[in-house]
Amino acid sequence: MEANYRLDVRGKACPMPVISVRNKLKEMKKGEVLEVITDFPASKDNIKRAATRAGHEVLNTEEENGSFRVYIRKK
């Protein structure tokens, strides 16, 4: 999937990944897509939940070699 921005939060413990995603989404323009890479399943779920609560669209989640990629469209 094509993304405008990539944010790698592998190795970071909660709540840092969610805070990093929120801060990046604030900088982005409406309609742009953020790819978030994490290696912690709970972070993946927390990122998706936080993005949805903030009104953004979670487009896709992929798992590859122990890492997760979450794609979020800013609304």
Active site residue 57: no
Catalytic residue among 3, 14, 58, 59: 14
> In sequence order, what are the beta bridge partners of 36?
7, 70
Catalytic amino acids?
14
